[in-house]
Amino acid sequence: MKIEEKLGLKIKQLRNEIGISQEELAYRCDLHRTYISSVELGKRNISIRNIEKIALALNVEIIELFKKGTIDGN
């Protein structure tokens, strides 16, 4: 699995854990919902600043986004 796919799954997992929609996450990040969708699908070579924005919006440290163990076991 590619790094951007692992990261996307983790973002999706954390977003689901706090029970917010892609739209709400996008709003909190000041990014577009379709961008969040493509990030979660692992289709974006996301930059560190956008990774930071998403971490802040999910209320986690960036390091949490790179810890092993998603709902898919990766």
The span from the CA of 11 to the CA of 65, in Å, is: 7
Query: What does the angle CA 16 – CA 32 – CA 55 come to, to the nearest 5 degrees?
Result: 50
Query: Can residue 45 be called a binding residue for its own copies (CB under 8 A)?
Result: yes
The span from the CA of 8 to the CA of 4, in Å, is: 6
Query: Can residue 30 be called a binding residue for its own copies (CB under 8 A)?
Result: no
Stretch that binds its own copies, among 1-9, 11-19, 27-35 (CB under 8 A): 1-9
Q: How far is CA 54 from the centre of its chain?
A: 6
Query: Can residue 41 be called a binding residue for its own copies (CB under 8 A)?
Result: no
Residue with smaller CB distance to its own copies, 20 or 60: 60
Binding site for its own copies (CB under 8 A): 3-4, 7, 45-49, 51-52, 61-63, 66-67
